[in-house]
Amino acid sequence: MERGDWDGIWLIDADPASRFEYCYFLLGAKYGRRYHYRTVNEQLDSTLWEYGAVTCIRSSPTISRCWFLDNGFHGLHCDTSSNPLVEYSIFYNNAGHGVYVDTTADPQIRYNIITENDDYGLFCRQEGNDPRPDIQLDYNIVWSNFSGEFNQMAPTMLGRKVQYNGNLDACDYRFNLRLNPSFKDAEWGDFRLYPWSAAIDAGPDDPGQQDPDGTRIDLGIYTYEYRPGEIRRLITVDRLKRDQSPYFMSCDVYLPRDQTLVIEDGVEVLVEGLFSFDAYGLLRCEGTEDNPVVFRSALVDATVGDWIGLIFNSGGAEGTVLEYTRIVNATNGLYFSQRDARIENCIIEKSSYAGIFCENNADPQISDSRLYSNSFAGIYCEDNSSPRILRVVIQGGEGYGIHATLHSMPIITNTIIYDVKTSGIRLEDLSNATIINNTILMNGYYGINCDANSSPEIRNNIIVCNGTEQRGGIGVLAARMSNPIIEYNCFWAHPSSSVEVSSDTTFSGSNILTDPLFVSLNGGDFHLKQDSPCLVHGDPHIDSQMGAYGGPDAAQ
């Protein structure tokens, strides 16, 4: 079987009530089979007749939910006096144009997908040099046709992105899209839609024209059926409810800027692929200690990076609040660009890059939270970002507890950073953090590493047991014009040195070099025993107690 195995269907002066529904037009209309013959200057001349798998001559049938596949010339041909209604159909892999419209034909073409044809998706023949003024081509996907979506004689504005449809996808003046329809397996004849398809809900916002599930019309033959709890693409509800949990994220989702979404305590959001939750609107996760909100991979054997994470890009609403929220197995658990947020009592773990990624002047407030086993960094800051990090525990991971670069200035207080593979805190490229009343210990190389003009204020910290003789083994390392202030800290048990700095670095004698006497170093209890020297040798202008449990913002 090959293209053009049969001649197709020709409708000539057909009854207007003619109708095709759920029909396959397959492997018809062989190219070059039909010609006009005439004699010019006593020479026989021939011109190829334009035709298709269905050829309409002075005929205006209804064609609904049909397949035009693998035909040898066009999918559908409309001659000058043919005005068919063509809807909910698919034009795919035809050797000519998907749809051919002759000069004065005026078909109504809506809710179709016209893609992967060898010539134009829609070809308009027009007499003279001016493009056709308009055509009834509404709410279609015309995408990835070899010669282009529309020829030069088609209406000028077809295909130009001038507005947004109900999904907030850019479309032309008649709501036609140039986006991948995302068929499940078109090569094998499966034209059902993946959840992320731009064809789903891409029809008009008209209560009189809806899919069976009550949503806007889906383009193409197959309607997409939402599962209970499924969220996809544009979020239109204002609340995810505990009694309707779990929810399933079947593709990227988008919270519009002018919308607020509340996620109730106990709600679980299961992410079914490498998808992101993009929140331009105001997001409020209202978990509790006993019933947190959970975002995690839906995979049974989930691994790091199985989904992208919660994204807060620049231009979105300020004031997001996440309380008692657990985020697992993302690329970045939370990503902020030029946005604020309040993050309280959250757990973010097993991210393939950062637990929290801040860039471009982002300044979230992160408090009373736990960041475990995030691969590159628990918290990563760049491009003038200044998160406030208070009473946070950062443990494990292959890289850094906190990494700040490119003029970033995090404020880090009452935080415990331990057991990360490289440095507890790394600062570089003019990043001047404030590091007060923290406990930084048992990290792979350095407690704090300052590089490339990074000059933080380091006071009232307990920095112990970082590195080995072969790897780092330094409490605070300052290099390449870095000039940190290092005062009223406790250093102990570093194989190389407590502090290794350049010649212009301040290193006050108010630091102590002694065992801080934790309640249980190996057991992970970093409170101080009653006879600890760190209870009385802190900065008198801040608090006499060093470490994460001292200072005015310490947990009570």
The whole-angstrom separation of Cα 97 and Cα 120 is 5
145 and 268 assigned to the same domain = no
What was the pLDDT predicted at 38? 61
Instruction: Give the pLDDT band of residue 155 (cuts 50, 70, 90).
Output: very high
What was the pLDDT predicted at 49? 83
What was the pLDDT predicted at 529? 97
Pair of tokens at residue 489: 């800290």
pLDDT at residue 4 greater than cutoff 90: no
Judge whether 169 and 179 are in contact, CB under 8 Å.
Answer: yes
Candidates 404, 411, 343; CA nearest to 553 is: 411
Q: Is residue 338 left, alpha or beta, with left meaning phi > 0 and alpha meaning psi from -120 to 50?
A: left
Q: Which domain holds residue 315?
A: 227-365
The whole-angstrom separation of Cα 467 and Cα 497 is 10
176 and 231 assigned to the same domain = no
304 and 323 assigned to the same domain = yes
153 and 246 assigned to the same domain = no
What was the pLDDT predicted at 39? 62
pLDDT at residue 15 greater than cutoff 70: yes
Picking from 173, 188, 203, the residue at the C-terminal end of a domain is 188
350 and 423 assigned to the same domain = no
Using DSSP, state whether 298 is helix, strand or coil: coil
Distances (CA, A) of 407 to 388, 401, 474: 15, 18, 24
Q: What is the pLDDT of residues 437-488, one digit of tens each?
A: 999 999 999 999 999 999 999 999 999 999 998 899 999 999 989 999 999 9
Question: Residue 301: which residues within 8 A CB-CB, separation 6 or more?
Answer: none
pLDDT at residue 188 greater than cutoff 70: yes
539 and 421 assigned to the same domain = yes
What was the pLDDT predicted at 109? 98
What was the pLDDT predicted at 46? 60
153 and 89 assigned to the same domain = yes
Instruction: Give the pLDDT band of residue 36 (cuts 50, 70, 90).
Output: low
Q: What is the CA radius of gyration of the chain?
A: 33
Kindly state the percentage of the chain with pLDDT values over 70.
97
Picking from 365, 396, 416, the residue at the C-terminal end of a domain is 365
Candidates 140, 68, 76; CA nearest to 102 is: 76
Does 261 fall in a domain? yes
Q: Which of 43-52, 60-69, 300-309, 492-501 has the lowest mean pLDDT?
A: 43-52
Beta strands in 246-292 (DSSP E): 247-255, 260-264, 268-271, 276-279, 282-286
Does 535 fall in a domain? yes
Residue 89: half-sphere exposure toward Cβ, Cα within 13 Å: 26
Using DSSP, state whether 188 is helix, strand or coil: helix
Question: Structural domain tally of the chain?
Answer: 3
162 and 37 assigned to the same domain = yes
525 and 442 assigned to the same domain = yes
Kindly state the percentage of the chain with pLDDT values over 90.
89
The whole-angstrom separation of Cα 53 and Cα 99 is 10
Pair of tokens at residue 8: 């197709």
Candidates 11, 127, 25; CA nearest to 66 is: 25
Does 199 fall in a domain? no
Mean per-residue pLDDT over the chain, rounded: 95
| DSSP per-residue string spanning 475-502 | EEEEESS---EEES-EEE--SSEEEE--
The whole-angstrom separation of Cα 238 and Cα 244 is 14
Instruction: Give the pLDDT band of residue 523 (cuts 50, 70, 90).
Output: very high
Give the full edge-to-edge strand order of the sheet including 9-12. Answer: 9-12, 52-57, 74-78, 99-101, 120-124, 148-150
Candidates 471, 504, 509; CA nearest to 491 is: 509
What was the pLDDT predicted at 555? 78
Candidates 2, 142, 4, 149; CA nearest to 74 is: 4
361 and 385 assigned to the same domain = no
Does 219 fall in a domain? no
Determine phi and psi for 510, rounding to 5 degrees: -80, -5
Q: What is the pLDDT of residues 166-181, one digit of tens each?
A: 999 999 999 999 999 9
What was the pLDDT predicted at 206? 80
Instruction: Give the pLDDT band of residue 208 (cuts 50, 70, 90).
Output: confident
Say if pTM beats, i.e. exceeds, 0.85: yes
pLDDT at residue 34 greater than cutoff 80: no
The residues facing 337 across adjacent strands are 359
pLDDT at residue 505 greater than cutoff 90: no
